[in-house]
A and B are shown apart, each in its own frame.
Chain A
Amino acid sequence: MTETKDSFILTVEDLTVSFDGFKAVNGLNLYVEPNECRVIIGPNGAGKTTVLDLICGRTRATGGSVRFKGHELLKMREDQIVHAGVGRKFQNPSVYEDLTVFENLEISYPRGYSVFGALAFRRDQAVRDRINEIAETIFLKDHLQEKAAYLSHGQKQWLEIGMLLIQDPELLMLDEPVAGMSVAERVKTAELLNRIIADRSVIVIEHDMKFVEDIATRVTVLHQGKLLAEGSMAHVQADPKVIEVYLGH
């Protein structure tokens, strides 16, 4: 597990974070290939969300390294990690409720990131076209003028996915994208995800096994901050350790 292949888009090695002595993530290695859809599963408290937090810079690691296309992410600020091409969706829909769907997407449009860039930002045709295109993809074309506060839970999840899509990240990290959705919304989301994972690497945390089976290239099982098993869905489902700590219950 220690050799580094150049073909990996994301190389996580010996990643460790300790909260007052408790190691939420402990010596984790994770290798993600381009265009791979990696699903992370594991029981509650396994450290799944913490791994995403460490990669995107929300939580600072105690040790180890996270390299994305040759950049060491652990040394970078959150916004620099985003500029490097890593997008992160949070577990609870995280949208700007006081702004319209259009404005939510506009803020994520990858231009005018600095203070003065934001002051000078113009809403030109390219911006409008791109926002319309994304809105169509995330099923919110008819809601562009609505305040995000009035969207349903599922629509907010889609909006947040759209806010990431507009930045066109090379690595997209999604934390439970179908949690709390109705069956109909879940089907639509699976369809949406299948379309957007086609040309980028994706790391998904998900509990819904049916959904995992649909989208996963490979599955990583975490338990108590450590890697328990890794491989295809069929492979990890047959692993007795995985059945013991997670699937069997």
Chain B
Amino acid sequence: MSDFPAMAPGRETGFLNRTEMLGAAALALVIFVLLPLALDPFRLNLFGKYLTYAFVAVGLVLCWGAGGILSLGQGVFFGLGGYALAMFLKLEASTPEATAIQSTPGIPDFMDWNQITALPGWWQPFHSLGFTIFAVVAVPVIFAFIIGTAMFRRRVGGVYFSIITQAIAAILTILIIGQQGYTGGVNGITDLRTLKGWDIRTDEAKTALYFFNGALLFACLALAQFVRRSKLGRILIAMRDREDRVRFSGYDVASFKIFVFCLGAAFAAIGGAMFTLQVGFMSPSFVGIVPSIEMVIFCAVGGRNSILGAVWGTLLVNWAKTTFSEGFPELWQFGMGALFIAVVLVFPDGLAGLWKSHVEPLFGRLKPRTSAPQPAE
């Protein structure tokens, strides 16, 4: 797994160094081969759901690990992405024939229950899949851009930023629950059936979506790695250390923060949309404060400086959560809290840090080394 690699001067190192390449290959092996072979479709779908959180965790590595911007409201973007797709799927499921028993056929069932008699105008564009796919990313990114501009231009940062993002997560949850005629309220948007006529509830569809989700995750990982490897990635680290020095080196610090916050939001939104597809509904319980903080824990456990570590962390914590909550439903939340405390106090660099400090040296001893590990050219 990777830390920010120290690069040799006078030479561009490759896209991935050897450890990163091995880490990515191992992750691909687990996601695309081992898990599909070992798990039944139900469990595989569960892991697919976990992987949707990994999108958020990868975004957090860029925002928080590299840029030092800790957002406690990533659930907002996860939710917006998820809701956008859920709206499309709900409209597709709400054909006049399927909803013939409603007082107003052809609109989503929860609208009918709330005495709404016509589809609201802002729902109309979600009849189009093209618009929906655009909106999945664009709506959260525009929202993140507005929040980011409002805060970073005014130099709001650190704990204040975290608290405000948390407040936004709370506000959005309340808004969604309060406007149940338009949003499905506390139940969310449920009973999603088909995507352009393709039934997403079958085992085959779930397995296909799992692989599609994995491929998308790797695309996001590649994009994240590109950003980290660029000068922008180093500027983020520099900003985290010495924001003033970056500013007085001629950079408009706020625009870099806004960019990385928007990128994190885009990743979270893609994760949210994939969540909706694989789980078959979207509800406010994936938007609010608790899920947002859980996503930070996934990232912290995996290692906030390692994009691959964040994926491993997400898989591991969620697997543990499912396992323990099946066995000890009362206790897992305490376990989750203890885990977070342990990460902060004992291994702040997470699993990736432990790997780097404890496992990699073992490899080093096993094989004769000709020289320092050469970065791939």
Residues of A within 8 A of B (CB): 56, 58, 77-79, 82-83, 87-88, 90, 94-100, 102-104, 106-108, 110, 112-115, 118-123, 128, 131-132, 144-145, 147, 160, 163, 167
Contact = CB atoms under 8 A, between A and B. Distances in A.
B259 A115 contact: yes
Contacts of B234: 99, 103, 106-107
Interface in B1-58: 4, 6-12
B143 to A, nearest CB: 19
A119 B232 contact: yes
B237 interface: yes
B255 A144 contact: no
Give the top 3 A-B pairs by smallest Cβ distance, nearest first. Answer: A82-B250, A102-B9, A121-B231
Contacts of A114: 252, 255
Nearest to A104: B238
B256 interface: yes
B8 A96 contact: no
Interface stretch (B101-109, B166-174, B240-248): B240-248
A98 B233 CA distance: 12
Nearest to B250: A82
Given A58-B244, A95-B245, 19 more contacts: A78-B247, A78-B248, A79-B247, A82-B249, A96-B238, A99-B238, A103-B234, A104-B238, A106-B234, A108-B250, A110-B250, A112-B231, A114-B252, A115-B259, A120-B230, A121-B231, A121-B232, A145-B6, A163-B249
Nearest to A144: B9
Given A82-B250, A144-B9, A167-B250, A115 B230 contact: no
A79 B251 contact: yes
Given A107-B249, A110-B250, A118 B256 contact: yes
Contacts of A82: 248-250
24 contacts: A79-B247, A79-B250, A79-B251, A79-B252, A79-B253, A96-B245, A98-B240, A98-B241, A99-B241, A100-B6, A100-B7, A100-B9, A102-B9, A104-B238, A108-B249, A112-B231, A114-B255, A115-B255, A115-B259, A123-B11, A128-B10, A132-B10, A145-B6, A167-B249
A220 B232 CA distance: 40
B57 to A, nearest CB: 21
Contact of A95 (B7, B230, B242, B255): B242
A115 B258 CA distance: 10
A97 to B, nearest CB: 6
B227 interface: yes
Given A82-B249, A110-B250, A114-B255, A131 B235 contact: no
Contacts of A163: 245, 249
Nearest to B226: A119
A163 B231 CA distance: 15
A118 B7 contact: no
Contacts, number: 102
B248 A119 contact: no
- Range of interface residues on chain B? 20 to 34
A107 B246 contact: yes
B230 A121 contact: yes
Contacts of B10: 102, 128, 132
A181 B12 CA distance: 35
A83 B6 contact: no
B6 A107 contact: no
B152 to A, nearest CB: 12
A131 B8 CA distance: 13
A96 B6 CA distance: 13
B248 A96 contact: no
Contacts of A78: 247-248
A97 B234 CA distance: 12
Contacts of B251: 79, 113, 118
Contacts of B242: 94-96
Contact of A119 (B227, B240, B252): B227
A221 to B, nearest CB: 26
B244 A99 contact: no
A98 B7 CA distance: 12
Contact of B7 (A83, A102, A121): A102
A58 B248 contact: yes
Contacts of B250: 79, 82-83, 108, 110, 113, 167
Nearest to A107: B238
A199 B8 CA distance: 32
A120 B231 CA distance: 8
A48 B199 CA distance: 72
Contacts of B7: 100, 102-103
Interface in B239-279: 240-242, 244-253, 255-256, 259
Contacts of A132: 9-10
A242 B354 CA distance: 60
B214 to A, nearest CB: 26
Contacts of B241: 96-99
Central interface residue in A113, A122, A167, by most chain B CB within 10 Å? A113
Nearest to B227: A119
A103 B228 CA distance: 13
B341 to A, nearest CB: 25
Contacts of B230: 118-121
A115 B230 CA distance: 11
Contacts of B6: 100, 145, 147
A145 B9 contact: yes
Contact of A77 (B11, B235, B252): B252
Contacts of B237: 96, 98-99
Contacts of A112: 231
